[in-house]
Copies of this chain bind each other. A is one copy, B any other.
Amino acid sequence: MPEERNIQYVEASVEALQEEMRRDSSIFYIGQGIGQRGGNFKQSKGLWEEFGDRRVRDMPISELGQVGMGVGAAMAGARPVVDIVFLDMIMEAMGQIVEQAATIHYTSNGKFKVPLVVRAAMGSARCTGPHHSRCFYSWFAHIPGLKVVLPSSAADVKGLMKTAIRDDGPVIFIEHKFFYNKKGPVPTGEYAIPFGVANVCRKGKDVTILAMSLMVWHALEAAERLQKEGISVEVIDPRTIVPFDEQTLLESVRKTGRLLIVDEAQQFCGFSAEAAAVVSSKAFDSLDAPVSRLGALHTPHPFNPVLEAAMLPSVDGIVAEVRRLVAS
């Protein structure tokens, strides 16, 4: 085992940026409040002090412009990291992300590369409400050309951020704002985590749970509780949904025969549908029960805490759904 420290998720992300920026002077970082302020979530703390205004630059409230600049800079040989802070605001920049960043490598016949990282935080955290909580990562996954990263631990955020920055194509890097100040073990030395390799967070034999980001934690907590009832749950975190590690998931389901997908996003036309479709088709003969999905209710995020809790997948909800699945 390599040496580890217990640090915050957000600190791990800053380490990744710092180490990469030291290594490669073509990397720069732009976003609202990521300069002197050190980031709304402290997600750039200390970077401005070290790298200065030229490489760590506060932006006006111009998400489209920021991403557009990222595309141009990437085409011109730099490696920009563009911070959107709240994922919701990326809506303003969808055209630049989809039509330009995602497409230019293909359309130019491989002549241009667009090594751009777009970073943002998603998810609900203490009633962030309808405009600051959305989790629409499936949108990016639907678009050819974008890689989509959903780290769920401090160690993963560091290792995956490094891979994102070194990737030669556009990467949508989505953290969960609820995590940022949570702590977790992070290796001391240099490491990067490859894309497309799922993490089997917990081994089990009765049911497989596929979960992303914050939902991994919920799933692990539910698995712990279910263990006491004698139900053995395997928890898989895909870490990146593009590329998607189908194999690890299929192997698990072939073993357990049952799959629950837990997704903080709405189910309809989302990643939970894709994973369910893939497993239902490719593990057709191994399934002992229909694949089950637990997503957010199909509503916007209500502000009221009671409604918000009712809208989102919960540990209780996961436990109940696994029980039902095992009984069926």
Interface residues of chain A, those whose CB is within 8 Å of chain B, are 64, 88-89, 91-92, 94-95, 98-99, 102-103, 106-107, 130-131, 134, 136, 138-139, 141-145, 242, 265-274, 276-277, 280-282, 284, 287, 289-293, 298-300, 302-303
Contacts and interface: CB of A to CB of B under 8 A. Distances in A.
A274 B280 contact: no
Nearest to A138: B269
5 contacts: A99-B130, A136-B143, A145-B300, A276-B281, A284-B287
A144 B130 CA distance: 11
Contact of A269 (B271, B299, B303): B271
A291 B300 contact: no
A303 B109 CA distance: 11
- Complex A-B, nearest 8 residue pairs according to Cβ-Cβ distance, in ascending order: A280-B280, A91-B95, A276-B277, A281-B290, A273-B273, A138-B269, A273-B274, A284-B290
A274 B242 CA distance: 18
B91 A92 contact: no
Contacts of A281: 276, 280, 290-293
Contact of A102 (B98, B300, B303): B300
A299 B136 contact: no
A103 B138 CA distance: 19
Contact of A138 (B95, B134, B142): B142
A300 B106 contact: yes
B280 A290 contact: yes
Contacts of A103: 130-131, 300
Nearest to A276: B277
Contacts of A274: 267-270, 273, 277
A277 B273 contact: yes
B136 A107 contact: no
Contacts of A130: 99, 103, 106-107
A144 B298 contact: yes
A290 B94 CA distance: 34
A148 to B, nearest CB: 9
Contact of A99 (B131, B142, B277, B293): B131
Nearest to A272: B277
Contacts of A289: 284
Contact of A277 (B143, B282, B284, B291): B291
Contact of A142 (B94, B139, B293, B302): B139
A151 to B, nearest CB: 19
Contacts of A303: 107
Contacts of A268: 141-142, 242, 274
Contact of A270 (B89, B142, B290): B142
B95 A99 contact: no
A274 B277 CA distance: 7
A307 to B, nearest CB: 10
A290 B281 CA distance: 5
A142 B136 contact: yes
A290 B298 CA distance: 27
Contacts of A271: 269
A311 to B, nearest CB: 10
A147 to B, nearest CB: 12
